[in-house]
Amino acid sequence: MLDFSLFDNYADPICIFTVNNEIIFKNNKFLSAFFDFKSLEKFKTKFNFNLCFLSSDSITQLTPIDILLKSKENFHTIASYQKSNGEFIYFYIYSFMYFDYRVVVFKDFTTEDAFSNLIKKYKELESKYNEVKESTNKFYKLQEHAQTQVLKMGIINKISLVIRETNDMEFILSSALEEIHNLLGSFKTYFSMREKNSFKIIYSVTDRTDINLFCEYEKDVVQNIRNKDIFISSCLKEYINSDKFIPNGATRIIIPVYNKNRLLGIIVTFTKQKISIDDNREILQSISVQLASSIIQAGLITQLNKKNKKLQKTLNELKETQLQLINSEKMASLGQLVSGVAHEINTPLASINSNNNLINKIISNNLNLTQEQINMIKELNNIDIEASNRISNIVKSLKRFVRLDEAEFQEADINKEIDLTLKLIAHELKDKIKVVKYYSQLPPVYCSVNMLNQVFMNILVNACHSINKKNIEGKIEISTFSDGHNLIVKIKDNGSGIPFEIQNKIFDVGFTTKKIGVGTGLGLSISKKIIELHKGSINFTSKETLGTEFIITIPISNKS
C-alpha cells in the first residue's frame, strides 16, 4: 500500500477510497472538520448538491459522494453539508485517481474568499497531479527500459556462461545463435565462416541442409561487413548466388564477427518483423564480440590438443627409447656378470672334473675298496654336490636377475633382492671388500624388482671399482629401513669418492669416468630414471678420497 501521509500536510479535509469504495485514509483536517463522522452511509446523507459538473443530463437521487464514487473520471461538484447542530457548510468537492485509489478533497468555501482560495488550491493540486502523472509516465518508461536492459544482460550472461563452461564450438554457436534467433523473432539464422572471397555456412539453427554452402553478397553488404557494421535490409533472396526466393520477402540482418581487424565470419538472420537495429545494436555487438573470443579460444585449444597429441606421441617414443636404454644397460651389466659368472662356474667345474678323474683312477686300480677309499669317495662326492649346488645357485641367481618370467611390477622383499645382487657381483667383491648389512624388517614393496636390482647392481659395482681404484681393504655398508610410507636404502663405500667438479654430471646420459670401451656411461643415468619411474628419489654425498654414500627413497606402495 502507498504511503498517504503526505496528505496530512494539506489544509483541506481529504479522504481516500479503494476501488471497492472503502475509506482507507482520512487526513488530520478531515478528522477535525467531520469530527462527528461515524459511518460512510450516514456521512453521505448529510451532503446535498449545490452545483455539480457532470457530462450527463440525467437526474439522480444519489448524494454527491455516491456520484463521485461511481464516476470513472475526475469529479468536481459544489455541495452543502449539514452539521449536527443544523448549520450548513458549503464545500467544493473534487476527486481524482491516485494510482489505484480515489482521492477526495473537501474545500470549504462558505465565504467567497474561501471559495477563491479553493479554486487556487485546486489549480495548484491539479498542476501537481499533472506533474505526478508525468513523473509516473517517465517512471513506467524507465522501468520498461530497465526490463529490456535486464533481458539483454541476461542473454549476454547466458552466452558468457556457456563460453566459460565449454570449448565445444558447435555448442557455443548453438547457444549464441538461438538467443539471437529468439530475440529478433527470426525464422532462419546461421553462421558463416570467411572463406577467401565468400562465406561458408558451418552452423544453422533451423536448416541443417545449408551446412557447407558458400554464400556471396552484394557490394554494399560486403562494404558494411568490412566497416564492421551491422547491416539490415529487405531481401527476396538469402544471398545473391541462391536459387531460392523468400516468399513476400524478409528483413535480413548481417552481424560481422571480428577479432581485432581479422574477419572471422558473419551471423545472418531473417525475420518477418519490423526491427529497429538501434534498439538491439548493443546486445548484437556484444554477442559478436563474445563469439569472436570463443572462436579464437576454440582454435587455440584445437591447436593445443594437436600439440598435446604430438607431445604424447613423442613421450611414448621417449619411453620406448628409455626402455631400450635400460635394456642396453642391462645387456652391458649382463656382459660384466657373464665374465664373473664364468669365473665362478669354472672353479666348481674344475673341482668336479678333478674329483671324477680321481674316482675313476681309484675304481680302475682296485674294485675292492678299503674303508679309507670309501670315505675318500664320499668326501669327493660331497665336494661335487657342493660344487653343483654352487653352479645351480649362480644360474638361478642369474635367471632371477634377468626376470624374464616375472611381471614388471610386483611386491618384493628388498633385503632378499639386495642379497641376490650381491651374489651376482661376488667376483667384484672377491676377498678385498667386506660387505656389512644393516637390514631392518621391511614390509613388501610394490616395485619393478628387475629394475631395482639393476640400480643396486650399478651402485654396488661402481663402489667396488672405486675401492679397487684406491687399492685398499674395502668396506661397503648397506642399510635398509622404512619411515612408514617410504623405503630407504643407503649404500656407503670407503672408496676414492667423486671429485667435486663432476658431482653435478654423474646422472647425465653417457657420462663416465671409465676408460673408452668400459661400460656404456648409462649406469647412474638409468638408475635415476628407474627411481623416478617408481616416484622416488636418488641422492648422494661424496668426499674425494673418503668415499660415497647413495640414498634411495621410493614409496612402499606405487599402486595409483
Domain 403-555 has CATH 3.30.565.10: yes
What cell does 224 get?
558494411
Sequence-ordered list of residues with C-beta below 8 angstroms from that of 15, at least 6 positions apart, any chain: 23, 25, 26, 27, 30, 104
Could you tell me if 400 and 420 are in contact, meaning their C-beta atoms sit under 8 angstroms apart? yes
Predicted local confidence at residue 121, as pLDDT:
82
Could you tell me if 475 and 502 are in contact, meaning their C-beta atoms sit under 8 angstroms apart? no
- In angstroms, what CA-CA distances link 55 with 10, 74, 123? 29, 11, 21
What tens-digit pLDDT sequence spans the chain (560 residues)? 688 888 899 989 999 999 899 999 999 999 999 988 888 999 998 998 865 444 444 445 788 999 889 888 889 998 989 888 888 888 899 999 888 899 999 998 876 555 666 677 888 888 888 888 888 888 877 776 666 666 666 666 766 666 666 667 777 788 888 888 888 888 889 998 888 778 988 888 887 888 888 888 888 888 888 888 888 888 888 888 888 888 888 889 898 988 888 888 899 999 988 877 777 777 787 778 877 777 777 777 777 888 888 888 887 667 656 655 665 555 555 555 655 665 667 677 677 767 777 676 666 665 566 777 677 777 777 777 777 777 766 666 666 555 544 547 888 999 999 998 998 888 888 778 999 999 999 999 999 888 898 899 999 999 998 888 888 889 999 999 999 899 999 999 999 999 999 888 888 876 777 665 445 445 788 889 889 989 999 999 999 888 999 999 999 987 65
Predicted local confidence at residue 541, as pLDDT:
94
H/E segment holding residue 144: helix 112-165
Predicted local confidence at residue 222, as pLDDT:
86
3-state secondary structure 158-216: HHHHHHHHCCCHHHHHHHHHHHHHHHCCEEEEEEEEEECCEEEEEEECCCHHHCCCEEC
Predicted local confidence at residue 482, as pLDDT:
93
Predicted local confidence at residue 470, as pLDDT:
80
Q: Which class for 77: exposed (0-12), middle (13-18), buried (19 or more C-beta within 10 A)?
A: buried
Predicted local confidence at residue 549, as pLDDT:
96
Q: For cell 641367481, name the residue.
A: 397
CATH code for the structural domain at 5-142: 3.30.450.20
Could you tell me if 548 and 466 are in contact, meaning their C-beta atoms sit under 8 angstroms apart? yes
Distance of CA 310 to the CA centre of its chain: 23
Predicted local confidence at residue 319, as pLDDT:
65
CATH code for the structural domain at 166-275: 3.30.450.40
Predicted local confidence at residue 153, as pLDDT:
67
3-state secondary structure 315-353: HHHHHHHHHHHHHHHHHHHHHHHHHHHHHHHHHHHHHHH
Predicted local confidence at residue 55, as pLDDT:
46
Could you tell me if 244 and 237 are in contact, meaning their C-beta atoms sit under 8 angstroms apart? yes
Predicted local confidence at residue 241, as pLDDT:
86
